[in-house]
């Protein structure tokens, strides 16, 4: 199992849940949603991701990583650190 396989059960282990999940885009498909009880919104694309909170708006793009698994691991790590206030 890798980070791209993060399940709702695993997310709940971090005491977080996702709401307002939608599929969008015209030229590029993405999934967006919000982390409950926060000001954090995320976007996940086929080849990247980003999130926006009051304190951060990093982007994660495929050319910057050796693999999509590495990108996903960094995205999840950074969003969880931001939510925990450790970044």
Quickly list DSSP for 23-74.
EE-SSS-EEEEEETTSS-EEEEETTEEEEE-SS---EEEGGGSSSHHHHHHH
Would you place residue 12 in the very low, low, confident or very high pLDDT band (cuts 50, 70, 90)?
low
**For 30-73, what is each residue's pLDDT tens digit?**
999 998 888 999 999 999 999 999 988 999 999 999 999 999 99
Would you place residue 16 in the very low, low, confident or very high pLDDT band (cuts 50, 70, 90)?
confident
Domain boundaries, the chain: 3-84
3-state SS assignment for residue 87: coil
pLDDT above 50 (res 2): no
pLDDT of residue 42: 93
Give the Cα separation of 48 and 45 in Å (integer).
5
Tally Cβ neighbours within 10 Å of residue 23.
8
What pTM, to 2 d.p., does this model score? 0.78
């Amino acid at each position: 199992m890798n980070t791209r396989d993060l399940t709702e059960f695993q997310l709940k282990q971090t005491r977080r849940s996702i709401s307002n999940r939608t599929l969008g885009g015209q030229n590029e498909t993405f999934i967006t949603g919000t982390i409950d009880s926060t000001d954090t919104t995320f976007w996940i694309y086929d080849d990247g991701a980003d999130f926006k909170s009051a304190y951060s708006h990093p982007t994660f793009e495929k050319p910057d990583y050796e693999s999509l698994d590495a990108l996903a691991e960094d995205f999840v790590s950074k969003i969880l650190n931001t939510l925990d206030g450790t970044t």
